[in-house]
Amino acid sequence: MIYFIRHGATDWNDNVNSLGVKDPKAQGRADITLNKNGIKQAKETAKTINKIKFDIVLCSPLIRAKQTCEIVYKGETPIKIDDRLIERDFGEFEGLTRSEFDFNGFWNKNSNQHFKRAESISELKKRVFNLLEELKQYKDKNILLVSHGGVGCVLMSYFKGEPKDGNYLNFELPNGKPVIFDYNEII
């Protein structure tokens, strides 16, 4: 079984615009720490998975994921950093709020957007699917992956199939909540 946890919230996840409306910033590879809310989310998640013995524990190299992993996981299996779990590179959009660029188009595989520096969905899929194929040999083990929203969207597509409308945001997972996947239930 794979237990996937998107890191706890950061100030950029919880960003509110001048009108008081939540408008998250695109974090991408920015190394942002957890905020109080994110720490609380991670502590709550720790309570739900603390009885599970994990055989493999992999984490993104970004601080928000590492902080989450250190809070939720207290087992004996060493935590290994895997660069394939790093968030999608938002390139020129990093630091912008979702309302400041075509965020929905950015996450739709049918969009004709071209990026100067940002990572495409197909590039993200290639590295995440590579990791998932590698982990398939351990399908009878408990695997903990701590990563990011974009990685979670692609991971969902691996197990649930491509989003019919091309919109990977249909698979967006909440911060700090574990989601369980089984290699025996791939669509």
* Domain total of the chain: 1
The CATH number for 14's domain is 3.40.50.1240
| The pLDDT of residue 87 is above 80 | yes
Look over the chain and give the mean of its residue pLDDT values, rounded to a whole number: 95
pLDDT at 114 over 90: no
Mean pLDDT calculated for residue range 60-65: 98
Answer yes or no: is pLDDT of 186 > 90.
no
> Can you give the residue range of the structural domain that contains 127?
2-185
pLDDT at 138: 95
Structure-token pair, residue 123 = 């590039």
Q: Which residue has the higher pLDDT, 78 or 115?
A: 78
What pLDDT, on the 0 to 100 scale, is given for residue 17? 86
Do residues 87 and 62 make contact, with C-beta atoms less than 8 angstroms apart?
A: yes
Q: What is the pLDDT of residue 187?
A: 64
